[in-house]
Structures are given as structure tokens and as C-alpha cells.
Homo-oligomer: A and B are copies of this chain.
Amino acid sequence: MSYHFSSRMASLSGTATREIFKLLTRPEIISFAGGLPANEFLPVEDVAQITAEILASDTARKILQYGVTDGLLPLREILTAYVEDVGIQDAALDNTLVISGGQQGIDLMCKTFLDKGDVVLVEDPTYLAILQIFNAYEAKAVGVKTVKDGLDLDDLEQKMIQLKPKFLYVVPTFSNPTGKTYSASNRKSIAQLASKYHIPVLEDDPYGKLRYSGEEVPALKAFDTSGHVVYISSFSKILSPGLRTGVAIGAPEIIRKMSIGKQGTDLHTSNLSQAVTYEYLKRGKLYPNIEKAVPMYRERRDAMLGALEKYMPDEFIYTRPEGGLFIWGEFPVGIDTVKIFPEAVGQNVAYIQGQVFYADGKGLNTLRLNFSTEPPERIEKGIKILGKLFKQKLSDAKNQI
């Protein structure tokens, strides 16, 4: 049977994300492919206690009943204060929308701004799922060059002028996939360019609270004086991804449109998930639990950096992130991480081919390594296997010349 699908869907197949989740289910695989918080870090007991109290309270019926699209009022209120921690001052209720995870924030931003054929600027490489979402809106992602401390501002300005993009999408803190963090001055310049050329920015900040070294940097939104930046954050990495909660903060006119878009999509986010998120914040559970998790994540990051130093070929260049979940690496051109991937999995180690993070199919010689879910011993073991495999491939490549 063939169906007349919409043109946006006709060409879409499952993303790499989807296929990756399947790989993770085999226990013998040492997986650096995911982007999950560590199972050990999920606050099961806190959530159990909070949920029991919510469902035994007077508000239980309210939680099980329909809610409003913008989100539970107490949660929205506490979120306006929560974002002060990243330097976003004066957020009010009409700036604040509860979303079903960060992914929904991206989707609603696209829904609000993108028409078929529009251009969106992204850091190159960028979060792979957003490239898939742009396809669904029949929009085109164009990569912006990067420098050490963020985006290449000249390239950004030129592309803002020439391409008239509908918005710029960035993950400026512990970026996915590179692990990079933009400097405060780079953020400020991006906000100024956005204002100058009247181009909205979507700042995606799922990892910002997971810092293992270095100094905190305010959100890009903190430098926004003209209402052009929409800030989205998620509780997936610092509370629970299974609950699907997050927040979008932006100009009231934009938030209002995103809310209307959300109404058509899921009416509202699960009230139970929202209530758990609210109580978790209100009871002051978030930061103590993050403080407990950070040393574990730091140990894993350091184990991976150490193993990369020890086992990977000298030609392999990689990032040294101050937080987040990912290290990004690059081989000399000629090494094809897509082609080598099945061999790595055959040796029970998984990574993600860097190519999927590029807007234009570049990056065959790159890969992304996640360090959050495997214990240090398995990280060492897995990188050792990858090191041997890639050394062999480099040697093969040289012999061919």
C-alpha cells in the first residue's frame, strides 16, 4: 500500500537518534553513542516521595484533570525565578511556557517562525535532531563557522545579511556535539547582531547546570535587551528525561505564539510531570542532587580524556569540555567514521559518526563521544579498543598512499 504523504514527511526516515537508542539496549556494548543522564543519578526516591505526597494532597484531582496550555501556575512562577540562576532577570509569567522537554521547545520555535524554504542558521556541527526537525518544516539549515570562544561573528553577520535567516539556533554551553562553551563576550555580540538585524535566536541550554570545571557564563538570553532571544532549558539531564518537562523563556509575543502552537500539539504537558518538577524545585532538591552528580560526571569526563590521551592516535584532535555530556573528536581527512562504525560495534564499542551533526553532510572524519553513562573502567576499556582500531585505520590509510 502506498500513501500520499505530505511533502515534509515523504522523505523523512528515522533519525540516527532513534537507531542509537536501539543499540544501547545490548549490555555487552560499551556505548559512547547516547546522550542520557546516568541511571545512578536519577532521583528515584525523591520522585517517589514527591509523587506520593502530590497524589495524597488536595491538589491531586487538579493534577489528574485537564490543565492550561501554558503550564501549571506554581511551576511557571518558580521557573521565572529559576532562570535568574543563568542571569535571566525579570522573567514574568507572560515570558514563560512549560514545554514537554527541550525538543518540544525547538519544535514550537520552528512552528512559530518557519515557512517552507526558509533558512535557519546553526553552529556547524549542531544537535542532530534539529536538522531532522528543520526537514519536517521544509526549511534549510546553514552552518555558521566557529572560533575558539563561540561563533565566528563575521561569518554570522555576513550570513544574517545575505541569507535573511528566520532564526539562529545555538547550544552555547557545553554544546552538543562539541562540548564547547561560548564566552560571555561572544554571547553578547551574538545578542547584539540578533538585535541589529532583527533575527531571533533560539538558545538551547539542556546541559548548563552540569559544570565540572571552569567559571560559569551567563546565558546568551541574559545579554538580550531587545526581546530577540528565546531561551529553552530542560529537566531531562538534571531531574529525569522520562518526565518530559522543560521551560521556554522569551518575549511575550513569541511565547504566546508558541503556546498556541503547543495547544494544537498536546494541549498541555503532563500535569503529574509538571507537579513533580515543581515540587522538586520548591523543596530545594535540584542543586544538592546536581552537586552529588557532578563529581561522578567529572570522574567520567576525566577518565575519557585520560584514555583518549593514552590510547588514541596522535592525529586525533578532541575537545576538553568543562561540562555537559560530550567530547568531540576529529581525525585527519580520509578516516571515515561512518564506514568504520560497524567494525567498532563488532568490537562492542559504539560512538556517533560526526557527519550526522553537520547541516551539509561534511564531517566524515569526526565523531562524538558521550561519557555520562559508562563507569570509568568501561570508558577506559572502550577507548582502548577504539584507539587500536583507529590506529590501524590510520596506518592502512598511510600505506595506501
As a 0/1 sequence over residues 162 to 179 of chain A, the CB contacts with chain B under 8 angstroms (1 = contact) are 000010000000000000
CA distance A29 to B44 in the complex (A): 41
- Whether A66 contacts B36 by the Cβ 8 Å rule is yes
Collect the chain B residues with CB atoms within 8 Å of residue A341's CB. none
Instruction: Tell me whether A266 and B103 are in contact in the complex, defined as CB-CB below 8 angstroms, given that A9-B112, A66-B236 are known contacts.
Output: yes
Cα separation A129 to B61 with both chains bound (whole Å): 24
In the assembled complex, the Cα of A104 lies from the Cα of B107 at a distance in Å of: 13
- Whole-angstrom distance from the CB of A210 to the nearest CB of chain B? 16
A39 within 8 A of B: yes
Q: Are A56 and B66 in contact (CB under 8 A)?
A: no
- Which one, B56, B64, B69, B241, contacts A65 given CB within 8 A? B241
Q: With a CB–CB cut-off of 8 A, which chain B residues contact A92? A: none
- Mark each residue of chain A from 99 to 124: 1 if its CB lies under 8 Å from any CB of chain B, else 0: 01101100100011111101000000
Give chain B nearest CB distance to A339 CB in angstroms: 26
Considering the complex, which residues of chain A in the window 239-288 have a beta carbon less than 8 Å from any beta carbon of chain B? 240-244, 251, 253-254, 257, 260-261, 263-273, 276
Shortest CB-to-CB span from A152 to chain B, Å, is: 25
A389 CB within 8 Å of chain B: no
B243–A64 CB distance below 8 A: yes
Given A21-B66, A254-B3, the answer on whether A42 and B61 have CB atoms closer than 8 Å is yes
- Assess whether A64 is in contact with B47, with CB atoms less than 8 Å apart: yes
Q: Interface stretch among A11-19, A316-324, A390-398?
A: A11-19
Known A260-B9, A270-B242: A61·B44 in contact at CB below 8 Å: yes
The B-contacting residues of A in range 180-204, CB under 8 angstroms, are: 198, 200
Query: Scoring A residues 43 to 78 as 1 if CB is less than 8 Å from chain B, else 0, what string do you get?
Result: 110011001100110001111111111000000000
B6 touches A111 (CB 8 A): yes
Identify A14's interface contact among B7, B227, B260, CB under 8 A: B260
Is A101 touching B267 in the complex (CB atoms < 8 A)?
yes
Asked if A89 lies at the interface with its beta carbon under 8 angstroms from chain B, I say no
Contacts of A1 in B (CB 8 A): 226-227, 251, 253
Q: Which residues of B contact A14 (CB under 8 A)?
A: 260, 263
- Assess whether A136 is interfacial by the CB under 8 Å rule: yes
On whether the beta carbons of B55 and A47 are closer than 8 Å, the reply is: yes
A132 CB within 8 Å of chain B: yes
CB distance B64 to A264 under 8 Å?
no
Tell yes or no: A310 within 8 A of B by CB.
no
Check if A244 sits within 8 Å of B270, measured CB to CB: yes
Task: Check A104–B272 contact: CB distance below 8 A.
Answer: no
Which B-chain residue is minimally distant from A258 (CB atoms)?
Answer: B9
Partner of A6, one of B39, B113, B226: B113
Closest to A242 in B: B271
**Residues on the B chain within 8 Å of A129, using CB:** 263-264
Residues 209-256 (chain A) with a chain B CB within 8 angstroms: 226-227, 236, 240-244, 251, 253-254
Residue A148, interface by CB 8 Å: no
Q: A51-B52, A52-B48, A260-B13 are in contact. Are A104 and B266 (CB under 8 A)?
A: yes
Nearest CB in chain B: distance from A256 CB, A: 8
Is A292 close to B, CB under 8 A? no
For residue A264, which residues in chain B have a CB less than 8 angstroms away from its CB? 103, 107, 129, 132-133, 136
Closest 7 A-B residue pairs measured CB to CB?
Answer: A242-B271, A48-B55, A64-B240, A270-B270, A42-B64, A66-B241, A100-B266
Q: List 16 A-B contacts (CB under 8 A).
A: A3-B253, A8-B111, A9-B111, A9-B257, A21-B66, A42-B61, A42-B64, A44-B55, A44-B64, A64-B243, A65-B242, A66-B236, A103-B267, A129-B263, A244-B270, A244-B271
